[in-house]
Homo-oligomer: A and B are copies of this chain.
Amino acid sequence: MQDWEELLSQAGYRVTEPRRWVMRLLLESTAPLSPQALFEAGRARQARLGLVTVYRTLALFEELGLVHRVHLQEDCHGYLPTSPGHRHFLICQHCGSAVEFPGSEDLEGLIATIEAQTGYRVAGHLLQLLGLCPACQGM
């Protein structure tokens, strides 16, 4: 995502310094970041950025599809910048670095089976993979 500023404007929002910081910090990180982590990373770099703004910005970005929230074991969740559309993430359980991949519809078969068995109608899903990134495999 690089023309996120365009998208923001288009949607009627202003492109501000704090919002630029949040996006920059997210893009520079290889791992998901929590609001607190973003705030501290920003503060460490003299960014003009308040914690409250981080929360608001993440909520806005999420709404616009610019970031996704991922669930972690300890911290509960963090945010990752993302391309628009249906995405999934694969997160390294050692160093936290994440990669996204498009939501290919490989779940069709599984979903059909489950629908038949349960009577539920499936409308969406949450899928995250975890494992080891190339760098962390030699350990």
Nearest residue (CB) in B for A130 is B124
- Stretch of A22-30, A49-57, A113-121 contacting B (4+ beta carbons < 8 Å): A113-121
A130 to chain B, nearest CB (A): 5
Nearest residue (CB) in B for A107 is B106
Cross-chain contact of A120 among B99, B106, B113, B121 (Cβ < 8 A): B99
- The interface of chain A, by Cβ under 8 A from chain B, is 71, 76-77, 90, 92-93, 99, 101, 104, 106-107, 109-111, 113-115, 117-134, 137
Query: What are 27 inter-chain pairs, A to B, with CB distance below 8 A?
Result: A71-B71, A71-B126, A90-B114, A90-B120, A92-B120, A93-B123, A99-B118, A99-B120, A101-B118, A106-B106, A106-B107, A119-B134, A120-B131, A120-B132, A120-B134, A121-B132, A121-B137, A122-B129, A122-B130, A122-B131, A124-B129, A125-B127, A125-B129, A126-B127, A126-B128, A126-B129, A126-B130
